[in-house]
Chain A
Amino acid sequence: MKAEESVTTGADLLVKAMIDEDVEVVFGYPGGAVLPIYDSIFKQNRLRHILVRHEQAAVHAAEGYARSTGKVGVVLVTSGPGATNAVTGLTDALMDSIPIVCLTGQVPTHLIGNDAFQEADTTGITRPCTKHNYLVKDVGDLARVLHEAFYVARTGRPGPVVIDLPKDVLMAKHEYRPPKKPVQHKSYRPQVKPELKRIEQAVEMIAAAKRPVIYSGGGVINSGPKASKLLQQFARMTGFPITNTLMGLGAYPASDKQFIGMLGMHGTYEANLAMHGCDLLLNIGARFDDRITGRIAAFSPGSKKIHIDIDPSSINKNVRVDLPIVGDVAHVLEDLIRVWKARQPKLDQKALKAWWAQIDTWRGRDCLAYKQVGDVIKPQYALERLYHHIKDRDAYITTEVGQHQMWAAQFLKFEEPNRWLTSGGLGTMGYGFPAAIGAQIAHPEALVIDVAGEASILMNIQELSTAAQYRLPVKIFILNNQYMGMVRQWQELLHGGRYSESYMESLPDFVRLAEAFGAVGLRAHSTAELDGVIQEMIATPKPVIADILVDKNENCFPMIPSGAAHNEMLLGPEDKAAKPVSEEGMVLV
């Protein structure tokens, strides 16, 4: 370095601080307010920058990176439109508890409030969609704020943190001193270790259970791979049935016989009836989302409930529980297993056997059954074939939002955490493809597939250009039903079949679209072509769009219509007339 270059600016300092946080990659898009940071990035080669084509995609890519690695995802965008474009991604990360640090440019401090060019009140706009945010007005605060932001994003219940950076602060001269570890925050101290008394109470309740069910969620994934291992150990030890939320898939191996599938609106018959009929509900890192509970008053009416969660605000929010345990899943399970082993309580094996027999009869309904007749591809069949071809590879699956997402959750099986990346809480169409890009950046050799709908994929299709630039062999597997299928399904079931604006007119030719971006396009019209297309897609070392033309009219079952209870689920098309949706149900989303 030349002498004048060794003088540190705010921007240089940020880059150094990020390197100290072990950041390897930043997803971003430049603009006037962040040019000093881009300059600092240019002058070094530790920190890699991935240029996306839209700031929303930068956040989703960082989410994909974060969810597939357990690390913090980092985003860099400019002021004004750069920051506002990032808002959907930030909200998505907040809802799904994904650790993100997002640096936003800002106009210089003396112009703040003047409606300056590309000024937006970024901290104001992002306050409700971040875990925390900062506006740094003094270069002297910059290093502390950056390290604090990573700490806040990653610890406790993870979430997105925004740092708004006025350009003059980025250009001001300042020395960088690496932080003293570990960062201690004066007011923010998440509770990681549970109270022992509650663990002991839990052991008693668990030992007394006759019809238990473990309901585990995204919190297990947030807690890290060790939590998944402990969850398996705990489940084996008790022999209890276990169900996962959409966000929790992979936290428990899907092939295990104790696993009874996903629960909730599109969950399995056995999982939902087990939730309804259990006498002990053990919630491990899940948040009683309305997609799980259905009608609250009728939710799991006969059970004692234990809830393990690191965020006290998740407890007793929707469902009142008997025993709250605040703490990190891995820590709680460790204590639970230790106390259990020490006490060696006797389980009621006879009752558990009868409970399992009951669950097995529910399983016998084979609620995910569908009929593949003729050569029109059923979406479920496409996913079964996809699974067949990828099951021996350590694949990462992302999804968009809609029917295809639910079918992917039902038909693809996950044996490990961090392999399933989906937008659950916000349900953001356009999430899957950039998330796949982020996962592919983190795992360059892995097979990464975005299971997409033809409508959703158009929401961030510009990222084909990113995939092409970095030669990312991401696969887009479109279940093309020519409809916003999930919308069409609700219109069929709830709005008298009036398909208002849910037909996808004027769809592009996805094969030629792929080619236009330098990717490869494939298409399957019929079952006969399906396996060939899947194999070719997997074998192609480039980004691929596989346009799978599927049955337009297929609906996703089972389904608990909104406002209904677990034991009122619709198992298939025949069911719908018998159980009309209540008026209260109609107003629900």
Chain B
Amino acid sequence: MTVEAHTISVLVDNEPGILARVVGLFSGRGYNIESLTVAETDAKQNLSRITIVTRGTPMVIEQIKAQLDRLVPVHRVRDLTVEGPHIERELALVKVKGVGEKRVEALRLADVFRASVVDAKTDSFVFEVTGNSDKVQTFIGLMQSLGLVDVGRTGIVAMSRGGEAL
């Protein structure tokens, strides 16, 4: 059976241990996590949203969703990949060190990728780039030869298109 990547959104109670429950479920059952993001999204109701990118056969993906849904503090599990069009975004901070021609080229490419400069020294830049993972990856790849020294990536957050909430 074919292995496919799925992006899953999970709405959970923001309580201690919730992330450990989710991560423990993946490691304990041998599922893999390609990307994981989590943050509180509704302070009043104390809810967090977890976005997970995982891989598996259709049967395994179905299991993953059922297992997530079984966790007591989980409110909702949505498979964005099967539920239709959705947006995925990732943010990266990319530090590039260099002078002269390389520095100019880095700045020029940043402009092409609409990455913004969030820190500048005479011999370094920190760029902030946002987009889908491919774009972020391509940008980082291009910086490799231009003095890349450090990368931080957020992992993917995702949302369905249209008016409906999770």
Contacts and interface: CB of A to CB of B under 8 A. Distances in A.
A151 to B, nearest CB: 10
A329 B162 CA distance: 38
A127 B17 contact: yes
A316 B62 contact: yes
A127 B72 contact: no
A135 interface: yes
Interface residues of B, number: 20
Contacts of A152: 72
A187 interface: yes
Nearest to B17: A123
Contacts of B13: 186-187
Contact of B28 (A128, A135, A316): A128
B63 interface: yes
Interface string A108-124: 00000000000000011
Interface in A269-312: 311-312
Closest 3 CB pairs of A and B: A313-B66, A132-B72, A187-B75
Contacts of A135: 16-17
Given A132-B72, A186-B75, A187-B72, A127 B63 contact: no
B69 interface: yes
Interface string B11-46: 011001100110010001000000000000000000
A188 to B, nearest CB: 5
B69 A127 contact: no
A320 B59 contact: yes
A568 B62 CA distance: 31
Interface string B43-85: 0000000000000000100110011011111110000000000
Contact of A313 (B12, B20, B67, B73): B67
Contacts of B20: 124, 127
Contacts of B28: 128
A127 B70 contact: no
B24 to A, nearest CB: 6
B85 to A, nearest CB: 26
Contacts of A523: none
Interface of A: 123-124, 127-128, 131-132, 135, 152, 185-188, 311-313, 315-317, 320
Contacts of A312: 66, 69-70
B24 A131 contact: no
11 contacts: A127-B17, A128-B28, A132-B71, A132-B72, A188-B72, A188-B73, A312-B66, A312-B69, A313-B66, A313-B70, A316-B63
Nearest to B59: A316
Interface in B66-115: 66-67, 69-75
A75 B25 CA distance: 25
Interface of B: 12-13, 16-17, 20-21, 24, 28, 59, 62-63, 66-67, 69-75
B66 A127 contact: no
A313 B63 contact: yes
Contacts of B12: 187
A419 B59 CA distance: 36
Contact of B72 (A128, A131, A311, A317): A131
Nearest to A320: B59
Nearest to A190: B70
B59 to A, nearest CB: 6
Nearest to B70: A313
B17 A311 contact: no
A315 B73 contact: no
A185 B72 CA distance: 9
A315 B75 CA distance: 20
A311 B74 contact: no
A343 to B, nearest CB: 31
Nearest to B46: A186
A316 B66 CA distance: 10
A315 B66 contact: yes
Given A187-B13, A316-B59, 5 more contacts: A124-B20, A311-B70, A313-B63, A313-B66, A315-B66
A310 to B, nearest CB: 11
A468 B146 CA distance: 80
Contacts of B24: 127-128
Contacts of B75: 186-187
Contact of B63 (A128, A132, A317): A317
Contacts of B73: 187-188
Nearest to A133: B17
A185 B62 CA distance: 24
A132 B72 CA distance: 7
B8 to A, nearest CB: 15
Nearest to A129: B28
B30 to A, nearest CB: 13
A73 B21 CA distance: 24
Contacts of A187: 12-13, 72-75
A185 to B, nearest CB: 8
